[in-house]
Structure 1
Amino acid sequence: MVFAPDTEVALRSVVNLINSVANGEEQLATTQDLDRFLTAEGFSGSRTRDAAELESVHRLRGELAALWLEDESAAVKTVNRLLREARALPQLVKHDEWDWHLHATTPDAPLAQRMSTEAAMALVDVIRSKEMDRLLVCAAEDCNAVVLDLSRNRSKRYCDTGNCANRAHVAAYRARKAAS
């Protein structure tokens, strides 16, 4: 394990949010899509379930996608801004099936604010641990999905959105066979 369990969960949610529009395929087109996403990611708290909420999550997705590509200094500025805008006040909480973990907003804060704060808190750990190089973009030439490398040997290079790793391995195999 590289990070605390709640940090890894939050980082995976960030990856899934960013990749919900990877390769031009919008997976959060409707509020019902957002409902399914939030259920799958285990998000709790208040919801408005309207177009404005969906749009705010889309804006957040864009900010987090940009942050994924930033260097440490720029990422720090973005993370600090997200925490400042949310007036984050970290607290230990226990709810639903989750054991003690950090929340930095109230359950009734707007959804995008809760999501951005959770992402920012997780990214604080990434930055403090000097692990920004674990935030990658898929190595497949035809894919722009993001990758979170939590492997012990830092070997993850392909996303989980499709068959990128399999396609790359098959292509390399075929190239070796053709060369021999």
Structure 2
Amino acid sequence: MVFAHDTTAALTAAVALVNSAEPPDTLTSLDQLQAFFDEHGYSGRRPETEAELAAVRALRAPLRTLLTADRDTAATMVNAMLAEYGAVPQLVRHDGWDYHLHAIDRDAPFDRRIVVETAMAMVDVVRADELSRFSVCADENCAGIVLDLSRNRSKRFCSVACGNRVAVAAYRARRG
């Protein structure tokens, strides 16, 4: 399944945000939050306060629940998120991107934009019945979320580091 670019971007950002809570926590400073904002191509007002950092950090647990939910639970959560923030989908073009959906004002607080953009992306995932694109990392020592957008659904690890760690452990077990 190939999702629209804005869906893929929002899902990738949501997974990165959730996984930032895995040790070591990679979202502890305002600089890291701004790097996250830049890396994932968010538009609108940049986060600039410690309160915004705290609000974004607080999203990690509920987004983890959403990304690991069954289809009916995900649909219920998405509907609640969109209703809570009065999401009004609109087609927009900006920053070199062709038309895509935005459902919240670009100047809304960053945590709210993350919630609405993730919920809008999950609309596509739920409608296409593609929740199997999400899984938990196959590394027994990691609880990171995996977003598998590959054609053959073969991605098992949340990061190259986890994949390498498991491969090295398997190699050492065979040798020793």
| Percent identity between the two aligned chains | 49
Contact 2:85 2:116 (C-alpha < 8 Å) held by counterparts: yes
Unaligned runs of 5+ in 2: none
Contact 2:56 2:111 (C-alpha < 8 Å) held by counterparts: yes
Q: Which residue of 2 aligns with 1:117?
A: 116
Q: Which residue of 2 aligns with 1:30?
A: 29
Task: Tell me which amino acid in the other structure corresponds to 2:125.
Answer: V
C-alpha deviations, 1:3-55, integer Å up to 9, x for none? 112111111011111111113x2211122211111011111112451122111
Give the TM-score, by structure 2 length.
0.92
Instruction: Please say if 1:66 is aligned against 2:65.
Output: yes
Contact 2:33 2:47 (C-alpha < 8 Å) held by counterparts: no
Task: Tell me which amino acid in the other structure corresponds to 1:92.
Answer: L
Q: Alpha carbons of 1:173 and 1:79: their partners in 2 closer, same or farther (altered >3 Å)? A: same
Task: Tell me which amino acid in the other structure corresponds to 2:147.
Answer: L
Give the TM-score, by structure 1 length.
0.90
Q: Alpha carbons of 1:149 and 1:48: their partners in 2 closer, same or farther (altered >3 Å)? A: closer
Unaligned runs of 5+ in 1: none
Q: Which residue of 2 aligns with 1:82?
A: 81
Cα distance in 1, alignment partners of residues 79 and 33 from structure 2: 26
1:35 partner SS? helix
Shift of residue 170, structure 1, vs aligned partner: 3.1
Contact 2:22 2:144 (C-alpha < 8 Å) held by counterparts: yes
Q: Which residue of 2 aligns with 1:148?
A: 147
Bigger mean CA offset, 144-153 vs 58-67: 58-67
Cα distance in 1, alignment partners of residues 46 and 85 from structure 2: 16
Cα distance in 1, alignment partners of residues 75 and 58 from structure 2: 19
Task: Tell me which amino acid in the other structure corresponds to 1:68.
Answer: L
Q: How many residues align?
A: 176
Q: Which residue of 2 aligns with 1:54?
A: 53
Q: Which residue of 2 aligns with 1:43?
A: 42
Q: CA RMSD in A?
A: 1.6
Q: Which residue of 2 aligns with 1:164?
A: 162
Cα distance in 1, alignment partners of residues 173 and 35 from structure 2: 41
Contact 2:104 2:116 (C-alpha < 8 Å) held by counterparts: yes
1:65 partner SS? helix
C-alpha deviations, 1:129-162, integer Å up to 9, x for none? 11111111100011111100111111111112x5
Q: Which residue of 2 aligns with 1:9?
A: 9
